[in-house]
Amino acid sequence: MYDDEYPPQSPYSTGLAGRCPRCGQGKMFKGFLDVAPSCQSCGLDYSFADAGDGPAVFVTLFAGFIVLGLALWTELTFAPPIWVHLMIFLPLTLVVCLGILRPLKGLLIALQYKNKAEQGRLEKH
């Protein structure tokens, strides 16, 4: 099956939803973060998918901005004891990080598929 047999899919909607970047129907993940071997709907082989450390980098930047911003605001506004920060912001960090990790990984894989991104190769002269 070739890509021209399927209507173009938005990498943003399919990636963030964890759906196949070619057909938009099948699941991209077999677990929480494990990429499935192939799409159960159209058969797209996901062996090309290599998001690497990209999702973790973006999660660190986004979650750090959100959680640290809230912690700083809380400290400057209410000046609570340290245990309040630990009780609020440690669980919040986990929720925010785990909440955006899978959608960002799906998005990066869908963008990789859409742009036909591959590993760089040196040309032989």
Would you give per-residue pLDDT tens digits along the chain (125 residues)?
A: 456 789 999 999 999 999 999 999 999 999 999 999 999 999 999 999 988 888 999 999 999 999 999 999 999 999 999 999 999 999 999 999 999 999 999 999 999 999 988 777 777 76
Tokens 């785990």 locate to 98
Q: How far apart are CA 19 and CA 28, in angstroms?
A: 5
Per-residue model confidence (pLDDT) at position 1: 46
In terms of C-beta density within 10 A (0-12 exposed, 13-18 middle, 19 or more buried), how is residue 58 classed?
middle
Which residues 6+ apart lie within 8 Å of 110 measured at CB? 9, 11, 12, 14, 15, 21, 28
Q: How far apart are CA 35 and CA 101, in angstroms?
A: 13
Which residues 6+ apart lie within 8 Å of 71 measured at CB? 85, 89
Per-residue model confidence (pLDDT) at position 2: 52
What are the residue ranges spanned by the domains of the chain? Answer: 3-114
Per-residue model confidence (pLDDT) at position 5: 85
The phi-psi region of residue 43 (left if phi > 0; otherwise alpha if psi is between -120 and 50; otherwise beta) is: left
Query: Which residue type occupies 7?
Result: P
